[in-house]
A and B are shown apart, each in its own frame.
Chain A
């Protein structure tokens, strides 16, 4: 049993580190994890759920705004959405999404339609990838807890 827990814990640790190393996450996520304690046990999951909901909403908003068939492209609305997405992604430490948002915003300000569309697609792919990764991570966490172990603190530095 202990061996399993240890293995799971190692797996979890490696996985988390890989997420950091691949640039999916940054320090802000660590900060977020620090805020989670007994008072708010599911805080990270809660925040991330909020974030992904936000993402879905914002991306659909942007997709609508960038849809040429409905008429003119409303870059200001796209910009506002990107700004929001940038704020929330930086707050949860979704590093890649945040980086994409930065270039997205530049395209938006330059009113570069192709760039915006490309960025939108990338953001969509990226946030979904992150979601999958984080779900995997949470699954690992759950497994550890089910196995009776403690979720290890992963120190990135």
Chain B
């Protein structure tokens, strides 16, 4: 698709049918574009279009920054455009030139032919006229000659004067007749031998006709013989001054004489042909001029012979004016324009088409003019050009075009007319523009039109190309951009990948120095010689370092999870206890913020599960701390319930009320479970559901999924107000997924967020631990007087489900009323005084309670119910004290409850005090303490005091209070939640104050007991039997001492062979303790593990520490041997390698031969302890 339009727009293939449709569209688009370009300046009305243009500009801007990146493509587009334009230009230019050329050539050709014909015709006519004139003259002359001969023959030698006169008269008549008949004649002359001249002459100027004759007297009849011919010449005529010339005007029509003959001077004579003109007796032609004519005359002369044809008796001359030829030429030129002239062979002008003079006036009379001397400029110039071009050797015909005369172009054509004795040359000069002028003009116009049209086409073509290629270049830019961005994305992904790998690899390197810093700070803090300021500073540094480490851990955890390197531990742990600890921890934080922290675990939750406790705690710690961050008032509830994976249907029906919005996850879970059931049918898997419910600001539903992404926070301003990296929830989700569960934000009624998650954890194979004590039979009545409503509600609900009557009170007034109702009623002898301000439901409950026989009242009082701000609390306490013999008080303290209050409470004999928050386990402990006490009380009824020797001092806690008797009660809850419980007496209210003080310290420690325990418990390896195989004496000694200090029983051997042997030997003689290389057995009193008696399995050792490089048999071989021996038995004794190598390849080798863990020398004690514990815990727990 893209490629199609691409190629089309570049190459403009017109033939492809597939493209044609697109082309139409394209053309349309181009048209639109063009209209866009054309219209802007007049498109004020067309705002949408303008907007389009604006948008186009914006696009252009967008592309601007990209243009620098694809400069090469830009150039290639530019070059292509240029090439197309050049091709177009060449094409159009060629077309134009060819068109112009051909039209011009053809027109010219035809015109030229036409023009040639025209010119020829033009010249032909005057020439023909000339010809006819010459012919006429010739004929007339001949006729005259014939007539003269006839007359003269007839007279035949006149002898007398009369006869002569008579003959002359006859001649005169004949001649007149001829002359009168031929009007075109100018003159006829007869020159006789004796010198007598007879002539007729027409004068065109005065249009009169004259008869001219000479005086007859001087002429003899026979005075002239043939021998005198030589004297018969013109000279004699003109020079014959003796002769007298007469001129007589005649009537032009009749020939009658008008007036008398006049004498005329010889100068006025016309041209009379003499004997000289016919020297050889032949006819002769010449051109003459006459005084009376302004044009040349053509005169012909013929001799008249006598009868014998031997001598010339007279000469006849006929003169014709060439005037008529000139007239014709003028007529012709009038029509066609131009000039025509005729010249004689010598170049004398005979006739022209102009009115200019043909003769030149000299002192000797008019003379013929040469063409090159013509007064007419055109004729002169033409003649000069001919002269110059051809010189004397002038060809018969000349056709010249484009002759430049002056500033105009002319056609010059010259023809030669070869008349006998009078060759004539005709020249036609026609201005070029007369013939070709229009054509030239038209050709010029055509050329201009063609050029302008082609220029227009060229520009339009260029514009089209630009538009068409614009799309292409845009697309290319886009593509370049796309490629660049894809590249960038790939690089970014790669770098992100490197980053997580790098972080995962760096985890140790980052954590170690931080741990060192913190450790060093701890040492510094414990130094006594620090000043207060220094102490404060160091403490601050410690806090910051811890925060930094936590952040570091978060990031590293995340990267670890992301790079798939996180491996979850599989260890048994007490889920409830972990969560309780967590809630305890966070409640301290929350109480300051007026937020309740509530733990609500259902009873069916397994106490012990297998899994990674640290990660589990991390999940909830993250969730709860997150909730705390966003919750300013209200509560945070951590709910937990459980469903057995093997009883799908039960759990479905059981939990249906809680999981309505949970449907999709549910089905997924079912699938997941089916899968799980298939793969591990035997495993006792549990699906544990948890909810973290808060009343904070909540999360926008659109962010419900994205909050679990890394660095994602629901509200960007969170970082500013609450801090944090946005990693917490991401880690949580990763961990949850890793544990086979899912986490989701779900819809909740009211404010806040509800996070719901499930985890799939396996429970130990041991029997059901959920032994719930049955409280219902004791007739317990619990009065919950708590400030926070949520915790109170949850607790009371739980109590009621266990058959314990429960009354709630939210404040002091309510508490006092209920107490009065319940406790004082006995003294008032059942006269129940109905209180107005007690609600009906409560009253009903109270009346129910009254039905209970022999009730035991437990009053749980939140210290917050008392008014601690003033001293009223003492009076309140005194008031409550009055009922202390009827009910047992349990106090809920805050962590910041002042010592005065606590001592006062103790002074009054209140021993049951627990820290907030109150949750199930604490409640159970309170109830158990009460029940136990009651039993004792019933035993010692008369004394009326009670012992609360509860199970406070278990081994895990650091209570060294010797006054407390050892625990005898084995409740499922092994921990002590009571803050302090001393053996006190009812009447001996002066309980030992001195005794309390260390307990206070203990109580303080309790909050941080987790920290304290890790550092101080040196006996962490108690009871573990370790076989140490080490050949270096130094190391053996050091390791032995180190392990024994921590309570382990160590057997040291010197090489691998001994290790294998001792193992075999011991397994055979397991009961024999004498073989053990015993160092001082530091068995503590609490530790009941006896090596002789506690052989839970046949293995004599719990763990082997194996040096790798030993003489005789090295660690690898020994391990292989041990593992071989184990084949077929259920045993697997953990083997930890000890090596001075610190290479990962060594580790791989160690694990390959069957070792379980790996320690490097020198031995790090903590690492060793944790390794040993992780390997031996399952069997020693």
Contacts and interface: CB of A to CB of B under 8 A. Distances in A.
Partners in one complex: yes
Interface stretch (B81-89, B306-314, B593-601, B1035-1043): B1035-1043
A88 B1034 contact: yes
Contacts of A86: 1140
A54 B523 CA distance: 35
A84 B1031 contact: yes
Q: Determine chain A's interface SS by DSSP, over half rule.
A: helix
B520 interface: yes
A91 B523 contact: no
A53 B1034 CA distance: 10
Interface string B1028-1070: 0001111101100110010000000000000000000000000
A43 B1041 contact: yes
Interface residues of A, number: 26
A147 interface: no
Contacts of A155: 523
A146 B496 CA distance: 66
Nearest to A58: B1032
Interface stretch (B275-283, B737-745, B931-939, B1161-1169): B1161-1169
Interface string A73-105: 000000010011011101111000000000000
A47 interface: yes
B1080 interface: yes
A84 B1109 contact: yes
Contacts of B1034: 47, 50-51, 54, 88, 91-92
Given A35-B1045, A84-B1109, A157-B523, A90 B1162 contact: yes
A39 B1080 CA distance: 8
B1034 to A, nearest CB: 4
B1041 A93 contact: no
Interface in A45-82: 46-47, 50-51, 53-54, 80
Contacts of A47: 1034, 1037-1038
A78 to B, nearest CB: 14
A87 B1037 contact: no
Nearest to A89: B1034
Contact of B1140 (A43, A51, A83, A92): A83
Interface string A21-39: 0000000100110010101
B1163 A91 contact: yes
Interface in B996-1047: 1031-1035, 1037-1038, 1041-1042, 1045
A47 B1080 CA distance: 17
Contacts of A51: 1033-1034
B520 A32 contact: no
A80 B1109 CA distance: 8
A157 B520 contact: yes
A25 to B, nearest CB: 12
A50 B1165 CA distance: 21
Interface residues of B, number: 21
B880 to A, nearest CB: 52
A92 B1032 CA distance: 11
Contacts of B1163: 91
B638 to A, nearest CB: 41
Nearest to A90: B1162
Nearest to B1032: A88
Contacts of A31: 1042, 1162, 1165
B1041 A87 contact: no
Nearest to B1111: A80
A53 B1140 CA distance: 20
Contacts of A28: 1162
A87 B1045 contact: no
Contacts of A87: 1032, 1035, 1107, 1109, 1140, 1161
B876 to A, nearest CB: 52
Residue with the highest number of chain A CB atoms closer than 10 Å, among B1034, B1109, B1140, B1162: B1034
Contacts of A46: 1037
Contacts of B523: 155, 157
A157 B517 CA distance: 12
A33 to B, nearest CB: 11
Residue with the highest number of chain A CB atoms closer than 10 Å, among B1080, B1109, B1162: B1162
A35 B1042 contact: yes
A90 B1165 CA distance: 14
B400 to A, nearest CB: 112
Interface in B1154-1181: 1161-1163, 1165
A91 to B, nearest CB: 5
Contacts of A83: 1109, 1140
A147 to B, nearest CB: 25
A97 to B, nearest CB: 12
Nearest to B1110: A84
Nearest to B519: A157
A91 B1038 contact: yes
B1035 A88 contact: yes
Nearest to A32: B1038
13 contacts: A31-B1162, A35-B1042, A46-B1037, A47-B1037, A50-B1033, A50-B1034, A83-B1140, A84-B1109, A87-B1161, A88-B1034, A90-B1162, A93-B1162, A157-B520
Interface of A: 28, 31-32, 35, 37, 39-40, 43, 46-47, 50-51, 53-54, 80, 83-84, 86-88, 90-93, 155, 157
Given A51-B1034, A88-B1032, A91-B1038, 15 more contacts: A28-B1162, A31-B1162, A35-B1042, A43-B1041, A47-B1037, A50-B1033, A54-B1033, A80-B1109, A83-B1109, A84-B1109, A90-B1140, A91-B1034, A92-B1038, A93-B1162, A155-B523
Enumerate the 5 nearest inter-chain pairs by beta-carbon distance, A residue then B residue, closest first.
Answer: A88-B1034, A50-B1033, A87-B1140, A51-B1034, A91-B1035
